[in-house]
Amino acid sequence: MIYLKEYVYLFELDSVRNTDTEIEIGQKALYNEIMTNDNIIILTFNQLVDSRGFFGLLNNPRYYDSIIKFFKSGSIRISQYGSIKTISQYLLNSLKSDKEFIYSGWPLKSTQKKLLSLIEQSLIHSDLSEINNYCTGKHTDREIMNLFAETDSDKNIKETDFDSAKCLMLLKNLHGLLKTVLKLNALHSIYIPPKDTNEYSDLKLHNILEIINNLDCTNNKQLEESLSIIKSLPCYGNDNRSNYLRYLLDRSNADQKTDKTAYQYSEAIVNLAYNYTCEISICNSSKNYDIDELRNKEKEPVSFKTDFLYRLEQYWQIGDYDNRFLRSETGAYNEYSPSEEILNLYRKEN
């Protein structure tokens, strides 16, 4: 009998799961799925390039060598999406001014126009010489700090609160990750082709949220309250997760009557819904639910309900809510230093 490896999408590697605890959970899941279950991990662009975990880990030589081997062996692959075929294209698309993209793992804000322009030019030309000049002392401290200044819609400029040493550290990390991005771009075999968007046009983020909202969960008051909050958001019905996260943060800050936990739980629901859309968008991805159930409006999607409630409980019970949900976009970056357990886990097999 021929054993076929499964294509597995890991919710645990979502870019918003960026506390140390969540990163280690994700890295262990990645390792176990490859080495224990002998499956192939399929990453989305977002999971790789906007992850605090990968951002920190790929700058560590011990981890970098192992993960590149996994890419080259085909144990980790990246799913193309729509017209986006490479990591560079994904990043360039996120840098567009109309996106107002929330960066979960990179020390970036959509208002840092000079820094975004530097990254954009590095990617367009596959040339890191200019960012390297900043990293190697060819620019003054003031010029380095100016890169991190913010420009609002009225063209007002706000200087960074970081000192030059902090800015330089961030630039060096950005340089390291961009170098990895350009190297992975050259490995054409790591990509799997995108699924035709027509195949899941009815299962986008807003569709999944609607399906969750229609589940019979009358005994779960916490879920009902959070779904009510999500439905009341101005962005309800669109497919941009960043919009939901912004509105939930703003509403939570303004709402003096509702416990903050309800908004945090709402964000957990949105994040899971987003991950389901990612999983569905990947060609031949293995799923723990019957996708046809999601399209049947007459019956409750029993297998999806079971999977969703299990994942929600698993996700929520990690705790540490204030550090995981309703996070402001600060442009700050807390460097992730992997534990010896994680580094030794990957080194053991490589």
Query: What does the pLDDT look like over 77-129, one tens digit per residue?
Result: 999 988 888 888 888 887 775 555 556 566 677 788 899 899 989 989 999 99
Predicted pLDDT of residue 107:
67
Mean pLDDT of 233-240: 95
**In whole numbers, what is the pLDDT of the chain averaged over residues?**
88
Cα angle: 178, vertex 179, 185; to 5 degrees: 85
Predicted pLDDT of residue 143:
94
Say how far apart CA 81 and CA 91 lie, in whole Å.
13
Least confident of 47-51, 296-300, 319-323: 47-51
Scan for tokens 């200087």, then name that residue.
159
HSE at residue 199, side-chain half, CA atoms within 13 A, is 13
Specify the amino acid at residue 168.
L
Say how far apart CA 277 and CA 14 lie, in whole Å.
12
Mean pLDDT of 12-41: 93
Predicted pLDDT of residue 12:
96
In the chain, % of residues over pLDDT 70 = 93
Joined together, the tokens standing for residue 317 give 């019970």
Sheet of 40-43: strand order equals 7-8, 40-43, 76-79, 191-192
Say how far apart CA 41 and CA 6 lie, in whole Å.
8
Predicted pLDDT of residue 248:
97
Beta strand residue intervals within the chain, DSSP E: 7-8, 40-43, 76-79, 150-151, 157-158, 191-192
Predicted pLDDT of residue 100:
59
The answer, yes or no, to whether residue 1 has pLDDT greater than 50, is: no
β-strand pairing of 157-158 with 40-43: unpaired
Mean pLDDT of 273-288: 95
Scan for tokens 């906007």, then name that residue.
50
